[in-house]
Structure 1
Amino acid sequence: MDIRPSPLRTWSLTATLLSVAWLPQAVLVVALVGAALVWRAEWLLLAPAVALLAGPVRAAFGRGPLPGRALRPADEPELAALVRDVADRVGLRRPLLVRVVPDVQASLGPARVDGTPSYVLLLGLPLLRTLTEAELASVVAHELAHEQQARARGTALLGFARELLAERLAGFLRPLAPLAAPLLRASQPLVWRAELAADAQAARIAGGKAAVDALRRTAVLHAVYEGLGEAWWSALAEEDAFPEDFYDALDAALADPHVVARAARTAAADDAVDPYASAGHPPFARRIEALADAPEAAGTYGTAPLPLRTSAALARWCVRELAELEEVEVIDGEAARVRLLDLPDDRLHELGGTPGLDLLLRVTGEELPLHALTAVLDAVADGTGQQLARRLEPGLRWLDAEARAALAREVLTGAGTTALTAVLHAAGWTYAGRWLTSVLTAPDGRVVDLHALVGEAVDSGDTGPVRALLGPLADKEGARA
């Protein structure tokens, strides 16, 4: 599939994107040069000179070791065979190194090994443990497809320019936003076309179903990793501890359908927020729709995960890498080892986080969770939800309107869920599983996902279903509802 746009359009957009991205530095350099000339302070010219030299110096001397840990063919022959098969079918001729990283990612980058131009393929351990052989082949094929696209220097430079300009829009102050947003919006279809072409190649090699399943499973895995996984690490790091069975616990959590449903909702919500058109990938729904007519492969790859012969060693290495990021001392034995799978449910729920009940009580001025919940529901019903969300999360006021609305929904859903969970759990409802506190079992045996219920109320403005759950509790505690 030829995904190359007009070279003139590509280079024009790239030049404009880079010009806007470097505009603050250019203004600063002009100001320093002007000041040096006016005040005869030649030493002021040192700053721009140092800034100009910093980039080439870092490029020449700042190359560190390759990220991740090497996955050698002798250690993982099944994985090596799959990657080589996909590379041959894609037409990749350069040497390809495969390395494992701790988080949920897959990426391809250039490398030079003993002076030979090569590529390094990074694969996250959660992907290797979770994806089926066919889904993993799809992920690998997608990444290798970008190697072909990178041969068109204009396309690669356009992607770099977009990433650079998008970085300038991070933070509270975004003076470049009025200039950047139209440029990012104009260039986005070009990079999206490249992603859809990579998806099409993945489907051609691994089959349409495997490509779609890989997209869905990766999105869910990423959301669980960033949600539960990072909550575990953050909570234990405060106790100078680390989860030595982190990946086993992650696998166990992914077996819970409520965890998967919650992660799918989170991924879809995150996917919908792109205020400056800076996203380099199309929304998952659009990518899946584009694969609707993709043909199926003729049974080339299996439907079970590949065996990892060094799985235990890889997990230990990845846990140590994550512990280092959290500044937890593992090697010298100073940090406490915690096995998540051996913890009681209450302790797991504590580590998973019960965000913001004290904050919600303080912001609403209430003493009881039921009254605080009523305040949230009233705000949702009368249209003042965003104001309450800004009181709960003051940083929302600095965000773009689209991002502010999406994150306000997340804040209100989280606050309402926390309060509703506290009310119902105190009334005799029980936790339905080990991983989420927001899924409860009613006294009559019903299992209710409170997060989904509150989220629907925030989206629709109809708080009736949530209030109906409270039933006689509202009257009993004298709620204002």
Structure 2
Amino acid sequence: MGAFTRAPRALVPLAGFFLVGPVPLALLALGDWALAASGRHGSGAILLYALSAVLAVPLACGLARVRAPRREEPHGVVLTPEAQPRLWELVRALAEAAGTRVPARLLLTADVGAALGERTRLLGLVPGRRELYLGFPLLQGLTEAQLRAVLAHELGHDAPADTRVSPLASRLRTHISRVVAHLRAGDAGGGARWRASWRRWLAKPYIGYGSFALRVTLRDAHRREYAADRLAARLAGRAATAAALRELPGLETSFAFYLDRYALAAADQGLLPPRGEVFGGYGRLLDARQLELVPMRTELPEVAASPYDAHPPLAARVRRVEEAADDGRADEGRAAAFALLDGPEAVLIALEDAALKVPSSGTWSRAADWPDLLTRSMNALLGDQNAPLPRALRREKGTAGLPTLLSVIEAGELWELARHLPASAGTRAAKGRARRAMLRPLLRAQLHRMVLADFAVRGRLRWEFSWEGPHAAVLTGEGGAPLEAGEGGREDGAPALEDAIDAALADRPDTGPLRALCALGNGPQAPKDGLV
């Protein structure tokens, strides 16, 4: 099939989406006109008019709902040509080489990825101002050549590779995708039951036909993605394009991990890293954990994200690029893409201000450095009295400290207390040893946390910050010196602490090792059989 016929064949089912409502309404109107022209005015004609009105009302209401949601402005920093001349020079050169328009605006975002947005008009029929969105993690994780490949791919979506109809089909597909997603989200919304049922009924024809149109045009959408990859390989080099595609899964995973475990670990407490470090620390994490990213570069997903995803499976895209002839450009652009930014410190600070929502308190507080952030966030987490086990202790005993819990264990009341912990229906229905086996992992995690909280309250816990691996909790003696490995040592490899917790939660519990480790003194003798 030639390029002249491919795009129109994709355009026809997409255009049909906008006729789902008007065509039945027009047929009903035509039927009413024909009935009136026939001169029939009996009871049968009245019933036909009434039936026509009953059918027309939901069709008209459904047609009113078929609109794309208002496009939300991405949060980010506008990079002007004056402030970032080198980055803009690259974008202009790629747009010229691709034979497409230069974007009117370049926005740096806090997302992993790049996209070319367009403010279209008339349901996507008329093109408008184009904006290029560039995710900051790409600057941190890619080389200059790899970034060139990503930008060339995005700009290539509007390149005149086939016919003038192809960009129109792409815009219509994007518009329909947004409408269908909007209708599906509306169906899942709240409100009165009758109203929700009415919305679902109205949306079904449009969701059904829209999904059909997206599915039958998927091959054309994939073809356009492959074409954009070929253009990227031509402009940036085969090796750089394949390498950029291979980097994407690792960047997505590592950036989400970085935000959760580092930058925003204490965000719910209104605490952030030092100014400029919210995104500035990501590069250090990437440098420290390169070995962990290797499997993500090789084990690429073989399945698309959804059956309607315009992007083919990543593994298939990489194979097509790597199967192309060697162009001898493997050694180009090895410098970090981050070096293209002028005044990167100011850009990172501006991105923080644009991407982070101000907490309810109205201000963020800043840690002195990363170790200070870790210590303050972990101590606040350990001190949370709404954790399941402290909450159960308060409910039953009026106090939630570790000594109280050890006394409960020694009195043989632990498994009775455990009935207040959140558990699945199967766990709640189980009895005896089976119930204890199901509850033990939760109890173990909660007891471990309470031990660390006890050490923290008495100033016998300090945290060692690490980019390379898990942060380490170091238990110290009464004088502040770290305990020997046989006495406790590190949280991630403390055989004495782990063994003491296991002994306290055994079917025949022994709290002696845990009391000795925590310097809590001796408690009463546990029941001999240790069972409830």
Question: 2:130 — aligned with what?
Answer: 119
The percentage of aligned residue pairs carrying the same residue is: 21
Q: Is the contact between residue 360 and residue 372 of structure 1 (CA under 8 Å) also seen in structure 2?
A: no
Measured at CA, do residues 167 and 194 of structure 1 come closer, stay the same or move farther in structure 2, by a change above 3 Å? Answer: farther
Q: Go from structure 1 to structure 2 and tell me whether the alpha carbon gap of 1:214 and 1:148 turns closer, same or farther (over 3 Å shift).
A: same
Residue 163 (structure 1) shift? 4.0
C-alpha deviation, 1:178, in angstroms: 6.7
How much does 1:322 deviate? 2.0
Q: What pairs up with 1:168-183 in 2 under 5 angstroms?
A: 168-170=183-185, 176=204, 183=213
The residue type equivalent to 1:145 in the other structure is G
Letter in 1 for 2:351: C
Change (3 A) 1:69 1:258: closer
Q: 1:166 to 1:365 in 2, by over 3 A?
A: same
1:246 lines up with 2:278 in the alignment: yes
RMSD across aligned C-alpha pairs, in angstroms? 5.6
What letter is aligned with 1:77? P
User: Which one-letter code corresponds to 1:85 in the other structure?
Assistant: A
Distance 1:439 1:84, change over 3 A: farther
Matched, 1:106 2:106: no
| Distance change >3 Å, CA 352–CA 158, structure 1 → 2 | farther
Q: How far apart are 1:129 and its partner, in Å?
A: 2.9
1:321 aligns with 2:354: yes
Rounded to whole Å, the distance in 2 between the matches of 1:361 and 1:435 is 34
* Cα distance in structure 2, aligned partners of 1:163 and 1:145: 22
Shift of 1:230: 5.0
Q: Aligned partners of 1:221, 1:345: CA distance in 2, in Å?
A: 23
Q: Residue 128 of structure 1 contacts residue 136 of structure 1 at CA under 8 Å; is this kept in 2?
A: yes
After the TM superposition, which residues 354-369 of structure 1 pair with which residues of structure 2 at under 5 Å, given as runs?
362-363=423-424, 365=427
- In structure 2, the residue matched to 1:396 is none
- What pairs with 1:183-202 in structure 2 (closer than 5 Å)? 183-202=213-232
Out of 244-253 and 86-95, give the one that drifted further: 86-95
**Alignment partners' CA distance in 1, 2:252 and 2:101:** 31
Instruction: Please give the alpha-carbon distance, in whole angstroms, between the structure 1 residues aligned to 2:258 and 2:435.
Output: 25
Matched, 1:342 2:371: yes
d(CA) in 1 for partners of 2:375, 2:314: 35
Give the deviation of 1:343 after TM superposition: 3.4
How has the CA–CA distance of structure 1 residues 476 and 11 changed in structure 2, closer, same or farther, with 3 Å as cutoff? same
- State the alpha-carbon separation in 2 of the partners of residues 182 and 146 from structure 1: 23
Match of 1:387 in 2: none
Match of 1:75, SS state, is coil
Structure-1 separation of matches of 2:356 and 2:365: 11
Correspondence for 2:12: 12
CA distance in 1, matches of 2:468, 2:380: 10
Match of 1:307 in 2: 340
Question: What corresponds to 1:154 in structure 2?
Answer: 169
In structure 2, distance between residues paired with 1:350 and 1:199:
48
SS at match of 2:340: coil
Counterpart-to-counterpart distance in 2, 1:100 and 1:279: 24
Q: Rg: which structure is higher?
A: 2
Range 340-349 or range 102-111, more displaced: 340-349
Cα deviations across residues 157-193 of structure 1 (Å, max 9, x unaligned)? 1343244334444575988577665554332222111
Match among 229, 241, 245 for residue 259 of structure 2: 229
Structure 1: unaligned runs, 5 residues or longer? 31-36, 378-414, 444-449, 451-469
TM-score, normalisation: structure 2: 0.55
3-state DSSP class of the match of 1:281?
coil
For residue 256 of structure 1, what is the amino acid of its counterpart?
Answer: A
Unmatched tracts of structure 2, length 5 or more: 30-48, 121-126, 190-199, 390-419, 453-462, 474-484, 486-491, 493-497, 508-532
Q: 2:327 aligned to 275, 278, 296, which one? A: 296
After the TM superposition, which of the residue ranges 207-216 and 227-236 deviates more from structure 2? 227-236
The 5 A counterparts of 1:138-149 are: 138-148=149-159
- Asked whether 1:73 is paired with 2:84, we answer no
**What residue is the counterpart of 1:86 in the other structure?**
94
Q: In structure 2, how many angstroms separate the alpha carbons of the residues matched to 1:9 and 1:286?
A: 24
1:9 counterpart letter in structure 2: R
3-state SS in 2 of match to 1:148: coil
Closer, same or farther in 2 for the Cα pair 1:181/1:98, shift >3 Å?
Answer: closer
Aligned to 1:264, which of 273, 293, 296?
296
What do residues 406-455 of structure 1 show as CA deviations (whole Å, max 9, x unaligned)? xxxxxxxxx99x969979x99xxx99955765999xx9xxxxxx9xxxxx
Q: What is the one-letter code of the residue matched to 1:157?
A: L
CA distance in 2, matches of 1:351, 1:285: 43
Equivalents in 2 of 1:262, 1:185: separation in Å? 34
Cα distance change of structure 1 residues 55 and 18 upon mapping to structure 2, 3 Å threshold: closer
Distance change in 2, residues 1:17/1:133 (3 Å): same
Query: 2:239 corresponds to which residue?
Result: 209
The 1-side partners of 2:224 and 2:316 are apart by 14
Which residue is equivalent to 1:164? 179
Cα distance, 1:140 vs structure 2 = 0.7
TM-superposed CA distance for 1:376, in Å, is 11
User: Residues 114 and 150 of structure 2 are in contact (CA less than 8 Å); yes or no, is this contact kept in structure 1?
Assistant: yes
Preserved contact between residue 89 and residue 205 of structure 1 (Cα < 8 Å): yes
Contact 1:357 1:419 in 2 (8 A): no
- Classify 1:419/1:141 alpha carbon distance in 2 versus 1 (closer, same or farther; 3 Å): farther
Q: Conserved in 1, the CA contact under 8 Å of 2:116 and 2:155?
A: yes
Deviations 1:55-91 (A, max 9, x none): 69x9xxx899896433233322221222222222212
The alpha-carbon deviation at position 293 of structure 1 amounts to 2.0
Are the counterparts in 2 of residues 99 and 123 from structure 1 also a CA contact under 8 Å? yes
Q: Is the CA contact (8 Å cut-off) linking 1:242 and 1:328 kept in structure 2?
A: no
SS in structure 2 at match of 1:280: coil
